[in-house]
Every structure is written in structure tokens, then in C-alpha cells.
Amino acid sequence: MIRRAVWIAFAAVCVLSATSWVVPSAEGLPSLELQGLRYGLIGVVALLFGRGRIRLGLPGAAAGVGFFGVPMVVVEWARVGVAETSRIALFAMVPVVVVMAVAAGDEERGVRRFLVPALVGLGGLLLLLPLGFSGTLRGRLMQSAVCLAVVLVGLSSVWLYRLLQGMALEEALAVVCLGNAGFLLVCSAIWEQFVWSWSGLVSVVSLSSLVDIAEVVLLVWLLREMIPVRFAARYLVIPLLTLLESYTLIRPELSVRMVSGVVLLAVGAGTLLVLKIGEEETMLSLR
């Protein structure tokens, strides 16, 4: 029953992310401030339900900021210098980072077998969304920052999986979300103009906020319940779903490159999700 719940939650996260473009975006607050308030809301509610219990506060908060907050800030900063398609292609490298990170500490359990499907999925996405390189120094710095964020996301997901074992969901949400709330609000205060008005704060309870809050709760739960190499497949599944949606709506003329890319992306993502791992439940012995 638990395993079925994990797969349902994973599918829900992928569908929510892939279809987020149909949800009207909230307006009234700068992006980082809005995200910081959303994480703060989740963290405070989780803290109340958890009766104030927090273990591994600093390590959990640091890993959570590495997974959620830092990439969010980097993407926001690099938005003008790195095209969205290039950002999606770069983050498709997360499964490769995760496989290498897990294999480094668990060499005897055959985790390296997952490197091939991770590379296959990445290759398929690059056929569909070619990676563009900037000709300016500023653009190259932004691309480098996104690459570092990709590595940080992969390492942080493995770290969080180990830290959150045996921790109640309320406690995990409180640690991860309160850390991200503080980080994002500080970054917003530095780089953006703070907006403290009732009309702006209303956007925190908008439809897009509710969708984001649900997604964050599911992500934190999955970070604890799903082994990292499978969880990382979402960076291939979400672009695949988004592309299939766009093809259904726009109906472009199919080409060999397009079909090959979709097939490779689907095969890579599917293999990451179904390939068997020996002693899967105890795969990360360093937890």
C-alpha cells in the first residue's frame, strides 16, 4: 500500500509540474518573496502539527536549501541570460549527478547500471531541446551557475534521503521549509523590492500558491520515501509530459529527430523508474 502511495505521489508531482503553465500565476509579490512566504506558511503549520519537535535542524535546513532554495535563486537570476529550454536541458543532468553520487558511496550494489538510462534520457532531451551557449561573459557565468545548481540539487537529494529517514513528515516539512523560507526572504530583501501590502499578501493563498504548496509537501515526502535514483527520474518525466502536451495541442510536423528524442527520453526515464536494485530498501547504507 505504501509503495502504491509513493508511485501515486510521484505521478501527481510530475503532472502538477508539467501542467503548471495552465494555472494562472499569482501577481502582487516578487517571485522570491512569494516563494519564501509559501515555504514559511508550510513550515509554521508543520511545526504546529509536530508540536515544535525538530531534529537535525541545521543539516536538514542546509540540505533543503540546497535542493529547493539555491536552484530557485540561481534560476531567477539566470532567467535573462539562459533560455528556459537550456535550463530544462541542464537540469536533466540531475539523474546523472545522483547516480554518480550514490555509486560513490555504494559501489557494490550495482547502482552504476542506472548511469546508462540517465544518459539515454539526457540525450533524448538534448535532441528535443538543444542546449544553447551564450556568447557573452555574463551569459556564460549564468550558465555555469545553473550547472553548479544542478550538481547541488543532485547531491542535496541524496543527502536529504539519508537525513529524513525515520523523521516524521511534519518534522521534515518544518526543517526543510523554514530553512528555505529564511533563505529566500533574505535573498528577496537583497535582490528584490520587498512588498508588504494586503493586496500583495493575498497572492500567497492564490490557486497557484495552493498548487505549489501541495507540490512541496509531496516532494518532501518523496525525498524521504523514494530512493534518489528513482526520484531523480522526475527531471526526465516532467519534460516528457510537457512535450507530449505541447505536441498534442500544437500538432507540429513530426521528424525523425523529434520521434527519436521522445523515444530516448521515455526509455531513459522509464528504465530509471523500473530497473531493479538489489536490496533496494537498504541501498544507501550511509543513512
pLDDT at 283: 46
CB of 92 within 8 A of CB of 237?
Answer: no
Q: Residues 127-142: pLDDT tens digits? A: 998 777 777 888 889 9
State the chain's mean pLDDT as an integer. Answer: 86
pLDDT at 245: 85
State the first-to-last Cα distance of the chain, in angstroms, to the nearest integer: 24
Helix (H) or strand (E) holding 74: helix 70-78
Q: Residues 94-110: pLDDT tens digits? A: 999 999 999 886 554 67
In the chain, where the domains are located: 29-277
pTM of the model: 0.89
Lowest mean pLDDT among 85-89, 107-111, 146-150: 107-111
pLDDT at 143: 92
CB of 71 within 8 A of CB of 32?
Answer: no
Residue with cell 525538530: 54
DSSP string, 102-158: HHHH-GGGTGGGGHHHHHHHHHHHHHHSPPP--SSHHHHHHHHHHHHHHHHHHHHHH
Residue 278 in this model has a pLDDT that exceeds 80: no
Q: Residues 227-264: pLDDT tens digits? A: 999 999 999 999 999 988 888 888 778 889 899 999 99
Amino acid in the structure at residue 11: A
Closest CA to 169 of 125, 224, 209, 118: 224
Rounded CA-CA distance 144/123 in Å is 20
Q: Residues 153-203: pLDDT tens digits? A: 999 999 999 999 888 899 999 999 999 999 999 999 888 776 666 556 666
The pLDDT-based confidence of 279 (bands split at 50, 70, 90) is: very low
Q: Residues 7-28: pLDDT tens digits? A: 999 999 999 998 877 766 666 6
Rounded CA-CA distance 268/280 in Å is 19
Structure-block grid coordinates of residue 24: 494562472
